[in-house]
Chain A
Amino acid sequence: MNRLARLARAADWTGWLGAAIVVVMIGAALLAPLVAPYDPVAISIEHRLSAPDAAHWLGTDQAGRDVLSRIIHGARASLAVGIGAVIIGALLGVSAGLFAAYKGGLGDQITMRIVDGVASIPLLVWAIAIVGILGVGPVTIGSLQFPNEVKIVTLVGCLFSPVFARVTYAVARRIVGADYVKARYLQGASHWQIALGEVLPNCLSPIIVQATLLVAIGIVIEASISFVGLGVQPPQPSWGTMLSDARNALYSGEWWLPVFPGIAISVTVIGFNLLGDAVRDLFDPRNEARTLVA
């Protein structure tokens, strides 16, 4: 495919580096029980606070747990929240954007005002407040029990959705008004055919760009919420809680406790950012994806 050839040629090494980081991190998260050298929650008093060595590459924490294993397992929460929130946000946002662009009139107005309203919500404050109100306990739906992170994923996903709604709306409005689409309607094409055949493929580039960059933001949000104790609950490992625990080690010599989880977050986020930028340069020359700030 032409695009793939262009991808291979045009993406400079930073894009490939980003892609490599993302693949490694997702791989580590999926295969955590296989690749982690130790049980991430196994306490071992005699090995507590040991510096990085051959047995524990990244050292151990106050409870003697292996830092490397905790980081590998911690990738699960971070990536699950980041990617999960983006999927939820994309589904909600794309539907809203398509609906508004098609419906026009009052339906359009109402939908896009709701989107504006959701976009007026400061994400982090609300995430902290709502988890605070609902409590950090697990969520039970029927016989299924979900960890606390489900609330964060859902919430962050909802608050990510305006980004997708606006991109989809802008592209869809342009396409629905284009002459060749009007011509296809005259030939008897249905709304669904136009939406799936013309609009979505055209929205795809900016959506992929935004999605990649939003995963990065989602990861930092998860780490931040866990850092203040409202995200992943101990003893389950997460990068944010590891950093929170590491604050106790700031004045003593255990440098590895604050350093490695932070590097894990930064490298993962760098990976998604580099990949997102490369995808933007490649697929979105018109720059329909707006600058993201969080």
Chain B
Amino acid sequence: MSAPLLRIEELRVAFRGTGGLIEAVRGVDFGVAPGEVVGIVGESGSGKSLSMLAVMRLLGATARATGGRVIFDGEDLLAATEARMREIRGRDIAMVFQDPQSSLNPALTIGRQVTDVVRAHRRVSASEARRIAVEALERVGISEAGRRLDAYPHEFSGGMRQRALIAMAIACRPRLLIADEPTTALDVTVQAQIVELIAELRRDLGLAVIFISHNLHLVAEIVDRVVVMYGGKVVEDGPAADIELAARHPYTRLLRACVPSLHGPLGPLAAIEGAPPRLGRMPAGCPFAPRCPQAADACEREMPPLATDGARRIACWRPQ
């Protein structure tokens, strides 16, 4: 594997609670190679979105990164100044979010919002910015882009809005796109289109992508590698095909059984018993142990390390 584009090392994120800091991301560790598509999978509260917001340094006032490093292209983003981050965001790394309905500014035209990104990072004339915006919109599959520049977000459908957001994200040709559950708020048919679009952009632009989702099958369609998170930690990490076909962590296996595949036969759906651990109430051992059908005494006592096994990594005392 070539030198990673992004290297997340021992990342920790904590919320400021009434009784001090509450850790929600507890030492996350993985890398993304140039042009690689990585899926991060986990239930809500697993810390997947939070770690990516930490990478972008967009955590807001209530949470902050308390440890680790985020090395992008040789530079530690957690140590960068805010001004430097502003240069990087949108130009080198861009991020799109879950809800395209609220993620676009309702008071501004689509064209304005795309050209703003261009002009935030490149010294170009207004007409040149417009040209780049039209190109970006066309690339994400918005037809008659020139005419639609003057449309407002409410005149777009949900899928179109998500396309427009992706157009904003790729307008400056970043090297890494972080997509935080970009399809969750969309209709099922539209979901597949957006997934297809992201795969296409990766092919055409050589873009590296981090695709966050709670749907393992959806992710497996397009990603090279899957990172499974649980309780603020990476529990399994490996090539998509291996994870899809032969997950070794009990959590991944259950997760796979929970969601119907888009293509496979529709078998009976499973559900994982119990609920994810609450913030600030993390068990001492493996966070999944209380819900794990295979849990032994050792699992309750001590957190298993993330052990490397060929191309895969797994954190489990009793992998399958």
Do the two chains touch directly in the complex (Cβ atoms below 8 Å apart)?
no
Residues of B within 8 A of A (CB): none
